[in-house]
Each structure stands twice: as structure tokens, then as C-alpha cells.
A and B are shown apart, each in its own frame.
Chain A
């Protein structure tokens, strides 16, 4: 079901943990859908992401996309981090099964949510960054009909 890359990141996730006094923290997803991701960013005065950690409650794909997303933004500037899209995360993982594509979206949103928190705390504006839409209290699933 999963690519080798996904399995490898699931088995050995990178950057798991917390950062105390992080520059920005973002939590997205909801327990109802079964995925919650939290990203911690440590951003220096030059707006470079020095460190990044994550915690995820979710399926194999959720863990792997979180892990890959943290790898892709580590050491990058915040503008570069904004370029890390769900597509980039998926490609880096050699793809995801269709039912798991939303996990990569969640990873992108988690990065954005942490950046949003950072921008708010430092009273700056990051180009292209919008208020994160999903939070852990939102999100209803639609039932699909198939008769």
C-alpha cells in the first residue's frame, strides 16, 4: 500500500519531539478524522529555520508526511519553507495512496500553522501565508453515496 520511502520514514521518523520555547508551534487536523499534527519551529533572527520537531497522532502516511515535511524545511528560510507544498512532500515520499493524500495537505498546513504562530508572535507578515484553516475543533466528513 505504501512506497518504500513512506515505510522508511514511518519506521524511522526524523525530528520527532518538542522544542521548548519554540519560535512557532502549529497544530492541525482533528481527532475525528484520525490525524493530528503538531510542528515546532526554532527560527533564528535571520528567519532561518534552525530546528524543527513534530508530533503526530495518525496513520502511517500521517507520520511519514510529517517526518518528510520537517526534513524539507529544516535549515531553510521561512520563504523557502513556504514553497514546501503538499505536492513536494508527496513527491519526496515517492507518492501516497489516493486515500492518504490528505495527510500531505495536513503536513503543509501544519508547517503553515507554525509559521503563522511565529509571524503573529513577532508581528511580521509572511508573503503568501494565510491563517491556517483547519484546527482540531473543526472538520466534518462527508458521507459518500454509492448506490
Chain B
């Protein structure tokens, strides 16, 4: 199979050639440790700090508020665990949602075992939290609100600005997992009263294994990795210089291309949604129709199961995902789809297609055609579809 149509950009993206090019000298020529005194290495410190500035600018933050991590999961872990520890004297209550990425959910569950109390907010059928529910969940001992900027599976964008205001009015720290949103939609940390924000390099055509946590100046938070004085003594370990250069270059590129790129993706995505919904019966779009990431489409097809669908798509050269790449292999349907109220069997039959900058209209047409065929074929062999047809005869 020569054809490859990659529609899983929410899982990861291709590292852009210009990003790789920017990184390469930092493996071979400029390999010095940024903490060393001699000028050969010290210039790497400057290079690292330049990336900090680029990222800070993308968020409306200050360079000193950007802390490099090994990726989004580390940033999420750090934000939750360190805040829980640093603010333990104020309280031990955390508010998050039922649709967070497992990097937040499993960390919250871990903190529960360590004595924290966690409220998991429900979402409506489009994946939005209720601001009223959030307000009434707040207690005097609430120390942290963590709500993802946009959901990785269904693409719904949460009302971050309003959440941030509520957090600020109540004097509560606000963390957001922006791994999917950063680079796709404009984010301003001040406008949204965000105290901490997690992001990752490989979702925006940067390298894997690098990400950052934005920590607002003044936020009390413990070191995550103890050791050297890197990252203002908050995250020890020799900097991943090539990774940081790659991340900065990718962020710069993502910001520059955002408007044009996402306009194109949005148009193609809407075309895909329109074709699928109108041509395949018993199917629905998951997530909010308009408050959604520009590249995300998530469908549920009744009477069929997601893995079968994925394998058949793969045989036709199409890469998609069911639930999310992190949960495939497990037998439980996606927690996000259950949270928006889908019954188990419908949640099992879900497909996420996430477009990228290289996706074309031809790709989308091919995918819609193939999808139509595969869904019909799988339904032919589904006992659930057989029962449904008999019931409606």
C-alpha cells in the first residue's frame, strides 16, 4: 500500500523540515552544556532563552515564566502534583473535569490516594463544562482548577476565559492542559487568567520529548525534578537543547502560519463532516459544532466497532484513531465519549480524524468514499445492525 493519508494529527505531527534543520547543529556542532561557563557553551544558554521568549510571546507571557519539560504529560503531572503540595496548607480540594487527558485524570486519581479531594465536573452532550456547576463546586479549601483548553478526542474548546475569571475571583489557581489547543488557536494567558499551562512540541510540527509548563510569576510551586539549577531551580537536568530549539522553531512557525493554516483546515474539516453526516446513515458528530478545534472531526457510527473500522481504514492507507492513541489497546470505550452521554456500544464505534496542514480536498474525498464503503461492510456483519433492521421491519 503506497497511499498514506495521515489524519491523526492530534496524536502527533510530522516534524517540519525547517524545525529539523534548526535542531541539527545543536546535536553536532553546538553541543555544549548551557550551564558551562566558556563561551562555546554559554551561547547555547542564549539560544535556549531565545526559544523561551518566542514561546512566551505566543502566549502573551514573559520568558521567565516558561519552564521546559519532557512533554505535555510531564507538564500536567508537575502542575497538579506540585500545586497540591505547595498549597496543602490552604486546602486539598481540586476541581477538574471528566474529559481531561489521562495525564491529568490519572494524576488527579493519584492525588486522591495521597489525601486530596477531587471534583470531576460533568460535561454536556457537546463536551462543555457548566460554569454554574464549576462555581458551586468551589469550596473554601479549593486550591486548584484544572480544565483542558480543548479536548483531544472530540475537539471541544472549553470556555477558558470565563473559567479563568471564576478562578481568579475566588483566589484559586487555574491550570489548563493546552496540549491540543496551543498552536491551533490563539491563547492569551493574561486575558484568560491562566496561572499554569501545559503544552507539547510534537503536536505542532515540533519534535517529540519536549514540552513546557507556563507558570505565572508569583505562583508557588515546588521543583519537579531535583538536582541542578536549570529552569530557575524548578526542573533540574541538562536542557534538551536540540529539543528546545525545535520546539521554539515550531512555535514560531505555528504562530506565523496559524491563521491561514487553520482556515484551510477548518474548511476541509467542515467538508468532511458534511460529507460523512449526509452520506452515511446512523452516524453522529461528537463534540461542539462550532466551539471546536479547526482540525478535529469525531464521528460515531452505530452498530460497528472502532478497532475494526481502524484496521480497515489502515488497509486503505488511512490513519485515524478511535478514542485516542493512548487508550487504544484497552477495552474500555473512551471516557470522553461516555462523559458526553454516548451509550457504550455507540462509544465503541467512534472514529477521530484530525487534519493537518498537508491534507487536501482529494484526501478528504477519498476518505469519505472509503469510509462509506467500510461502514456499510462492517454493518453487514454486525448482529446489532441485523437486530436493528429486524426491529424496524
Nearest residue in B to A16 (C-beta to C-beta)? Answer: B381
Q: Contact: A56 with B382, CB < 8 Å?
A: yes
Q: Output the least CB separation between B262 and chain A (Å).
A: 34
Instruction: Give per-residue flags for A27-57: 1 if the beta carbon is below 8 A from chain B beta carbons, else 0.
Output: 1000111111110000000000000001111
A63-B381 contact given A10-B311, A34-B348, A57-B303, CB 8 Å threshold? yes
B side interface size, CB within 8 A: 26
Q: Which residues of B contact A11 (CB under 8 A)?
A: 315
Instruction: Give per-residue flags for B320-355: 1 if the beta carbon is below 8 A from chain A beta carbons, else 0.
Output: 000000000111110000000001110010000000
| B379-393 CB contacts (< 8 Å) to partner A | 380-386
Q: Which residues of A contact B110 (CB under 8 A)?
A: 147
Q: Output the least CB separation between B347 and chain A (Å).
A: 9
Q: Contact: A31 with B348, CB < 8 Å?
A: yes
Q: Output the least CB separation between A90 and chain B (Å).
A: 17
Q: Contact: A58 with B386, CB < 8 Å?
A: no
Instruction: Give per-residue flags for A1-23: 1 if the beta carbon is below 8 A from chain B beta carbons, else 0.
Output: 00000010011010010100000
A57-B345 contact given A11-B315, A63-B308, A147-B110, CB 8 Å threshold? yes
Q: Contact: B308 with A60, CB < 8 Å?
A: yes
Q: Contact: A55 with B332, CB < 8 Å?
A: no
- Contact of A59 with B by CB under 8 A: yes
Q: Contact: A36 with B308, CB < 8 Å?
A: no
- Contact of B3 with A by CB under 8 A: no
A15 to B141, CA, bound (A): 62
A56 to B386, CA, bound (A): 10
Pick the contact of B383 from A55, A59, A99, A141 — CB < 8 Å? A55
Q: Output the least CB separation between B81 and chain A (Å).
A: 13
Q: Which residues of A contact B385 (CB under 8 A)?
A: 57
Q: Contact: A38 with B331, CB < 8 Å?
A: no
A59 to B310, CA, bound (A): 9
Q: Contact: A27 with B383, CB < 8 Å?
A: yes
- Contact of B61 with A by CB under 8 A: no
Pick the contact of B384 from A31, A33, A141 — CB < 8 Å? A31
Q: Output the least CB separation between B313 and chain A (Å).
A: 12
Q: Which residues of B contact A38 (CB under 8 A)?
A: 383, 386
A34, A35, A38, A60: residue with the most chain B Cβ atoms closer than 10 Å = A34
A38, A99, A141: residue with the most chain B Cβ atoms closer than 10 Å = A38
- Contact of B125 with A by CB under 8 A: no
Q: Which residues of B contact A56 (CB under 8 A)?
A: 381-383
Q: Which residues of A contact B381 (CB under 8 A)?
A: 13, 16, 54-56, 63
A143 to B110, CA, bound (A): 15
Q: Output the least CB separation between A130 and chain B (Å).
A: 22
A60-B384 contact given A147-B110, A147-B113, CB 8 Å threshold? no
Instruction: Give per-residue flags for B105-125: 1 if the beta carbon is below 8 A from chain A beta carbons, else 0.
Output: 000011001000000000000
Q: Output the least CB separation between B219 and chain A (Å).
A: 27
Q: Which residues of A contact B344 (CB under 8 A)?
A: 31-32, 34
A13 to B380, CA, bound (A): 12
A58-B305 contact given A10-B311, A11-B315, A36-B383, CB 8 Å threshold? yes
Nearest residue in B to A13 (C-beta to C-beta)? Answer: B381
- Contact of B307 with A by CB under 8 A: yes
Nearest residue in B to A32 (C-beta to C-beta)? Answer: B344
Q: Which residues of A contact B304 (CB under 8 A)?
A: 57
Nearest residue in A to B304 (C-beta to C-beta)? Answer: A57
Nearest residue in A to B303 (C-beta to C-beta)? Answer: A57
Q: Contact: A99 with B384, CB < 8 Å?
A: no
A34-B383 contact given A58-B305, A147-B110, CB 8 Å threshold? no
Q: Contact: A37 with B380, CB < 8 Å?
A: no
Q: Which residues of A contact B345 (CB under 8 A)?
A: 31-32, 34, 57
Q: Output the least CB separation between A109 and chain B (Å).
A: 14
Pick the contact of A141 from B113, B311, B331, B382 — CB < 8 Å? B331
Nearest residue in A to B386 (C-beta to C-beta)? Answer: A55
Q: Which residues of B contact A7 (CB under 8 A)?
A: 311
A99 to B329, CA, bound (A): 8
Q: Contact: A57 with B380, CB < 8 Å?
A: no
A38 to B383, CA, bound (A): 6
Pick the contact of B305 from A13, A34, A55, A141 — CB < 8 Å? A34
Q: Contact: A58 with B308, CB < 8 Å?
A: yes
B329, B345, B383: residue with the most chain A Cβ atoms closer than 10 Å = B383
Pick the contact of B382 from A13, A55, A99 — CB < 8 Å? A55
A91 to B386, CA, bound (A): 30
Q: Which residues of B contact A54 (CB under 8 A)?
A: 381
A31, A57, A99: residue with the most chain B Cβ atoms closer than 10 Å = A57
| A/B interface sample: 14 pairs, CB < 8 A | A10-B308, A16-B381, A31-B343, A32-B344, A36-B383, A55-B382, A56-B383, A58-B307, A59-B308, A60-B307, A60-B308, A60-B311, A62-B308, A147-B109
The 6 tightest CB contacts between A and B, nearest first, are A31-B345, A59-B307, A38-B383, A55-B383, A34-B348, A32-B344
